Amino acid sequence: MGSTEIVLGGGDAMIKRGKVLVIDDEPSIVELFTDYLNGQGFDVISAGGGEEGLDRLRLDSPDIVLLDMRMPGLDGLETLRRIRKVNVRVPVLMVSGNDDIAAAKEAIALGAFDYTLKPVDFNYLSRALDKMLASVQPTAEPGIQMEVTTGSAHGLLYDLALEVFRTTRTLSESARESIAPALENAALNLVQRGGGGDKAESVRALNVIRSLLRFAKDLGDITDETHRSLESHMAKARRSVGLS
């Protein structure tokens, strides 16, 4: 996955960066993504709905998936659940015409790489494609030391956000009503801003999460063991954006 191929034609050589599966029920959106992605060196596979998208995923093994949130029949969230049963590794970028925070949180918790709105900012999309490809690049050869062992900076930010969501699901009812919403919003912001390459906002979100986790530990909402585990993820995430 994520391999680069050079294709020779009548003109200049074109670098093929990988395959992207676009799942959207609007033909105009599929055409827009296809034109853009082809121009960026990607092969594009398209599907008009969730069921067809799952079939294409199995048949074509794409490197990246762009998945519409709102579709008739099998919607984006259910399609994402089923994608994760088939392939836990392929990065999935959710795309929606509505700013639905609850749906965005659920998508991230289900393993989406990120969540973005239509009309898509192509500057953002370009950065996100680079980060998604980096997250599925082959690991280094034995004996070659890597600065981080779990992938790109975005992957480390995502890992922390995922652990935060897992933790908030185990909190007491009172903590779910008080500290959990703030933690989840900060975690979601971390993934969204990190995916867009916004370092300042990523740092701010990391600081908010760290402070909230300390409050949760001091209030007895999470155990010392849970706090240590989250701090381990926090340390990796902070290093990934150049913090100590």
Residues in a beta bridge with 35: none
Exposure letters 43-55 (e unless 16+ CB within 10 A, then b):
bbbbbbbbebbbe
The H-or-E segment that residue 129 falls in is helix 122-135
User: Alpha carbon of 15 to those of 7, 60, 218: distances in Å?
Assistant: 6, 19, 53
Q: What is the pLDDT of residue 144?
A: 36
Q: CB of 148 within 8 A of CB of 236? A: yes
Regarding pTM above 0.85, the answer is no
Q: What is the rounded distance in angstroms from the CA atom of residue 191 to the CA atom of residue 15?
A: 29
The CATH code that applies to domain 5-135 is 3.40.50.2300
The H-or-E segment that residue 94 falls in is strand 92-96
Neighbours of 132 (CB within 10 A): 26
Q: What is the pLDDT of residue 54?
A: 96
Domain residue limits, the chain: 5-135, 153-240
Q: What is the pLDDT of residue 10?
A: 46
Q: Provide the residue-wise pLDDT of the chain in tens; the chain has 244 residues.
A: 455 454 444 444 456 788 999 999 999 999 999 999 999 999 999 999 999 999 999 999 999 999 999 999 999 999 999 999 888 889 999 999 887 788 888 888 888 988 888 888 898 898 888 888 877 765 444 443 333 334 455 678 888 888 898 899 889 989 989 999 999 888 888 887 776 667 888 888 899 999 999 999 999 999 998 999 899 889 888 888 887 6
87's CB contacts (< 8 A; 6+ apart) are 57
Q: What is the pLDDT of residue 14?
A: 53
Q: What homologous superfamily is domain 153-240 in, according to CATH? A: 23S rRNA-intervening sequence (1.20.1440.60)
